[in-house]
Chains A and B, each alone.
Chain A
């Protein structure tokens, strides 16, 4: 089976996020004063060949641990897993 696994990485709360801070300031100057904080992370999609959704998830988790996130400063979450139509298809 082919799956698309969507992964989000976020900086840990204790880690400074200057990009998020600058973006927050910009939102504030737009008048979006209800926004009290901004944190910027990454959104990653992996196309995975696996026998089952669980296995696809495990592969995505291993990829996230080994490369996609740096455990010193980031956490990751598997956000969504979808069956994809064809191997290597980009959509």
Chain B
């Protein structure tokens, strides 16, 4: 799984992502790409937009990062069907880029939320979640001040109709309740995918939950889903 992690000024989860993908998931070809680069390189499998505070969250979260040099190539890559995951600030960048619908605004309680949450898996028919079971809950941390996902009614209806809501905040036993919603997101939305299924954004941090010693290894299931997907793609190509 050739993985490139985009580094913006202010990114601070880039090293966590590198550690998870390279060391924990054993993908040696994992490297950073600085935001001033004009290309992510050739034959990339996965692009990660990591968490952090790109450009100090100036103007709006993700708004300036969206216009950095490297994003042109990331948008081209995504539009060509390339696999992109945006985590936390990366999700905000994807929304600002128009690669995902909606927007992330300040948490309803106005507090920065840094805690463990449970997510219920709503769609396992994606390259990001094929190793999870329908309704399976995973334990991952959140750490954000602006994670309230919202979009207009019509967009929410479309997301639901197309099964684009991948994760919702839930209780440990998988109940989607108001109490389990840490930021006021509409419909407890924690992660969504684009219609084509190649771009996912999520506020929680799977890359920080890949080792039991850190409190949870559940985040690995997302990255092992991706590894499985790319292995399948390669086998299918070889059989042709």
Q: Give the interface of A toward B (CB within 8 A).
A: 14-16, 18-19, 22, 42, 67-68, 70, 72-73
Min CB distance, B108 to chain A, in Å? 6
Q: Is B235 an interface residue (CB 8 A)?
A: no
Task: Kindly identify which residue among A18, A42, A67, A72 contacts B106, using a CB–CB cutoff of 8 Å.
Answer: A18
Q: Is B110 an interface residue (CB 8 A)?
A: yes
Q: Write out, one digit per residue, whether chain B residues 89-130 have a CB within 8 A of any chain A CB (1) or not (0).
A: 000000010000011011111100000000000000000000
Majority SS at the chain B contact face: loop
Interface size, chain B (Cβ < 8 Å): 18
C-alpha gap A56/B109 in the complex (Å): 40
Give the top 6 A-B pairs by smallest Cβ distance, nearest first: A72-B103, A18-B110, A73-B103, A18-B106, A22-B110, A18-B108
- Chain A residue numbers with a CB within 8 Å of B106 are 18-19
A70–B60 touching, CB < 8 Å: yes
Q: A18-B109, A18-B184, A72-B103 are in contact. List 9 more A-B contacts (CB 8 A).
A: A15-B105, A16-B150, A18-B108, A18-B110, A67-B59, A67-B63, A68-B59, A70-B60, A73-B150
B152–A72 touching, CB < 8 Å: yes
- Chain A residue numbers with a CB within 8 Å of B184 are 16, 18
C-alpha gap A39/B108 in the complex (Å): 14
Q: Give the interface of B toward A (CB within 8 A).
A: 59-60, 63, 67, 96, 102-103, 105-110, 148, 150-152, 184
- Chain B residue numbers with a CB within 8 Å of A70 are 60, 63, 96, 103
Who on chain B is nearest to A21 by CB? B110
| A16-B108 contact in complex given A67-B59, A67-B63, A70-B96, C-beta closer than 8 Å | yes
Min CB distance, B93 to chain A, in Å? 12
C-alpha gap A44/B118 in the complex (Å): 40
C-alpha gap A68/B63 in the complex (Å): 9
Min CB distance, B148 to chain A, in Å? 7
- Chain A residue numbers with a CB within 8 Å of B59 are 42, 67-68
- Chain B residue numbers with a CB within 8 Å of A15 are 105, 150
Task: Kindly identify which residue among B67, B96, B110 contacts A19, using a CB–CB cutoff of 8 Å.
Answer: B110
Min CB distance, A25 to chain B, in Å? 11
| B103, B107, B151 — most chain A CB neighbours (10 Å) | B103
| A14-B152 contact in complex given A67-B59, A67-B67, A70-B63, C-beta closer than 8 Å | yes
- Chain A residue numbers with a CB within 8 Å of B148 are 16, 18
C-alpha gap A51/B105 in the complex (Å): 38
Who on chain B is nearest to A68 by CB? B59
Who on chain A is nearest to B151 by CB? A72
Who on chain B is nearest to A14 by CB? B152
Who on chain B is nearest to A11 by CB? B105
| 15 pairs, A vs B, C-beta closer than 8 Å | A14-B152, A15-B105, A15-B150, A16-B108, A16-B150, A18-B106, A18-B107, A18-B148, A19-B106, A19-B110, A42-B59, A67-B59, A70-B96, A72-B103, A72-B151
B102–A72 touching, CB < 8 Å: yes
